[in-house]
Structure 1
Amino acid sequence: MSSAVSIRDMVVTYEDFAALDHVSFDIGAGESFGIVGESGSGKSTLLRAISGLASFDQGTLSVNGRPYSGRSRDKEFYRTVQMVFQDPYGSLHPRQTVDRLLLEPLLIHGFDDIETRISRALDEVGLGSGFRFRYSHQLSGGQRQRIAIARALILEPKILLLDEPTSALDASIQAEILNLLEQARRDRDLTFIMVSHDLGVISHMCERLAVMKMGKVVETLPAAALEKREFSAEYTRQLLVASEGFRRG
């Protein structure tokens, strides 16, 4: 399996604090890869560094074999890599209609057949054309996240970065959004990199995962190893116990 994303010795520092401390891993094309760890472990910083929202000070990033530096990204990168954020309200412009939100990336990247693409994007996320001229404040949290996913998919990327994509949603809506993402991955043969504090979500959605603590990767393991308790790091065991305790409560 060829690598869709390859990271070597990535370092991100804020003043004297190492938010990422020599992080390395490879993600295969078409793989769904999870990143777990407690708050402050560096999960979201890692996604932001991959996406270009945060610069990295040292190390290398390659996407489909093409190297990228600390912060600079080009149009080809954004055609290939898109991100879905945790808070769908914060990531959608409140003064733009759904139509405008979906139109903008198409115009930037010079797509034609815009009408067809917008209709298809709304259908794919389970929303009809009746939503095109609504504003984000007229939508529920789940509908807003569906629009955010439609906007990410409309450029036909191959890699989706997912930063806690369901944690701001009600439990009943979370499963719908996860199923929608899983269907999109199958239909489009996407590669996922998914950050979550919820080990249950990661073990359901991902084939492999990296466990992060204080900016470092503690271990990388198959998701199936979580259920079988086949891991080597004590920190992974603590995360699993904390996650199960929370779910039982």
Structure 2
Amino acid sequence: MTGGKIAVSDLSVTFVQGRRRIRAVKGVSFSVKPLESFGLVGESGSGKSTVLRAICGLAPVSGGDIRIDGGAIQQPRDKAFARRVQMVFQDPYGSLHPRHTIDRVLSEPLSIHRFADREERIVQALKDVGLDARFRFRLPHQLSGGQRQRVAIARALIVEPEILLLDEPTSALDASIQAEVLNLLNRLREERSLTVIMVSHDLAVIDHMCERLLVMRGGEAVEALDRSSLADRKVSSDYTRALLTASEGYVR
């Protein structure tokens, strides 16, 4: 299994609220190579999370094109897309049904995609994210924030996707737990040969996870960088410099 290639060309997303039209994303383009980890970074309201939602079919695309391995994505997204592309959301509590046991949370995608050996797959999925099998029959409120996010990661990976979309997956966690989850995601990415797009407001997080990144502001692309340019502070925009200053001491 190898990660897929993603190409986003001149993407625009417009929300309609009554008579108002809000352009949340304005002509953004980037490409992500198979097995690459790519970051979208910017402050709140920059449009970075909306780009991920557009890829998943959760935001209204008003212009441009999204392709995976050269093929156009079906609208609405079909079951084959959900098998290939999975997303982990920011809030590890809100993304899990409060009355469903962890066993049920992990069983449902296996049922939808008709996987066999479900029991073994659930136990292995928990083990892969560092959780004991005894967590299977607990409810989300019985887990810590870090444990809930590990379950959300296990749920995303249990159907063996090629592409993983991460929407601020550590921002709701304590700083000590953030590092654990980021290291877990890095390990799983390598073990599973995943293509990853990660959204964060924090350049230090993106630096930890991603080889290349796109800085966004106000729905637009500001500049594209690779990890070495970030480390050497070779940036062209004042906005990126401000993000670097905010991450000072954390970005390598």
TM-score of Structure 1 vs Structure 2, range by shorter chain: over 0.9
Task: Select which of 195, 199, 223 maps to 1:195.
Answer: 199
Distance 1:97 1:42 in 2: 33
Residue 3 of structure 1 and its aligned partner are, at CA, apart by: 6.4
Task: Assess if the C-alpha contact under 8 Å between 2:4 and 2:35 holds in 1.
Answer: no
Residue 232 of structure 1: SS of its match in structure 2?
coil
**For 2:241, what is the secondary structure of its paired residue?**
helix
Percentage of matched positions with identical amino acids: 62
The equivalent of 2:65 in structure 1 is 60
Match of 2:9 in 1: 8
**1:100 alignment partner in structure 2:** 104
- The equivalent of 2:56 in structure 1 is 51
Code of the residue aligned with 1:8 in structure 2: it is S
Deviations 1:101-148 (A, max 9, x none): 000001011111111111110110011110000000000001000000
Deviation at 1:244, TM superposition (A): 2.3
Matched, 1:24 2:29: yes
Residue number in structure 2 paired with 1:208: 212
- What does residue 136 of structure 2 align with? 132
Q: 2: distance between equivalents of 1:3 and 1:178?
A: 21
Q: Residue by residue, what CA displacement relative to the aligned partner does 1:13-57 show, whole Å, maximum 9, x if unpaired?
A: 123221000111110000000011111110111111111111211
Could you tell me whether the CA contact under 8 Å between 1:202 and 1:223 is conserved in 2?
A: no
2-structure distance, mates of 1:100, 1:64: 32
Kept in 2: contact 1:31–1:191 (CA 8 A): yes
Pairwise CA RMSD: 1.7
Among residues 11, 33, 40, which one is paired with 2:45 in the alignment? 40
Structure 1: how far apart are the matches of 2:207 and 2:133?
34
TM-score (norm 1): 0.95
1:227 shift after superposition? 1.6
Secondary structure of the structure 1 residue equivalent to 2:224: strand
CA distance in 1, matches of 2:15, 2:169: 25
Q: Contact (CA 8 Å) 1:3, 1:26: kept in 2 or not? A: no
Q: For residue 183 of structure 1, give the secondary structure of its aligned residue in structure 2.
A: helix
Q: TM-score, normalised by structure 2?
A: 0.94
Amino acid at match of 2:164: L
Question: Please, which of 114, 119, 142 is the counterpart of residue 115 of structure 1?
Answer: 119
**2-side partners of 1:120 and 1:63: how far apart?**
29
Measured after TM superposition, the shift of residue 58 of structure 1 is 1.0
Give the Å deviation of 1:243: 2.8
Matched to 2:7, the amino acid is S
Q: Is the 8 A contact 1:198 1:243 kept in 2?
A: yes
Distance 1:180 1:92 in 2: 20
Q: Report the count of equivalent residues.
A: 246
**Equivalent position amino acid for 2:191 in 1:** D
* Residue of 73, 77, 83 corresponding to 1:79: 83
- Confirm or deny: 8 A CA contact 1:160 1:192 kept in the other structure: yes
